[in-house]
Chain A
């Protein structure tokens, strides 16, 4: 089944404790992206990647890191999480890098930073 998977689905952590949220897609997509969703703000892009070893900042990159060593994986790293990073996070991928391509989303990771 074609899908984007994220792990973990739920995570409660404390300020300053490094964490990684994994994202994997099995559709051989070139484009991958991370978003955060907050009430009333819609989706805001954190980082995106057009291909392996190519990553770029989105609208809200502060406090986050990413890497794209393999085409299928795009982990999101929070080196020192803070309470303002409490949010719902989505990974997405797309078959191409053109503006009309559909994005496929993972199920989301709900992160709480105490």
Chain B
């Protein structure tokens, strides 16, 4: 079965430090890849998505992610963390014409002052 793995249910970084949230998916078939963010007590909103154009994708709030086919990964990064980045981040994947999204378990990002 196809799956999405997010390494680390919680990631803690200091304000100003690099943010790295990991996402790996199963399957050699090129997927569509998404990162969504959920701020406290809110719904999810799209951060960025990969749809077979450039492998480095830029999103909102200074986040970006790189699609690496050989590693079946789509890790999310931000050069300098801000307190407002504290949220839960979800990686999601869909394949081909199948519209259904497969979701990772989520990573809660904690920003230390």
A residues in contact (CB < 8 Å) with B: 4, 31, 40-45, 48, 50, 58, 90, 92, 97-103, 105-108
* CB <8 Å contact, A40 and B105: yes
Inter-chain contact total with CB atoms closer than 8 Å? 57
* CB <8 Å contact, A99 and B99: yes
- Interface size band for B: 20 to 34
Minimum CB distance partner of A50 in chain B: B99
B residues in contact (CB < 8 Å) with A: 9, 31-32, 34, 36, 41-46, 49, 51, 90, 92, 94-101, 103-106
Q: List 24 A-B contacts (CB under 8 A).
A: A43-B44, A43-B90, A43-B103, A48-B100, A58-B100, A90-B43, A90-B44, A92-B44, A97-B99, A98-B99, A99-B31, A99-B32, A99-B94, A99-B96, A99-B98, A100-B32, A101-B99, A103-B46, A105-B43, A105-B44, A106-B43, A107-B42, A107-B43, A108-B41
CA distance in complex: A105, B106 (Å): 16
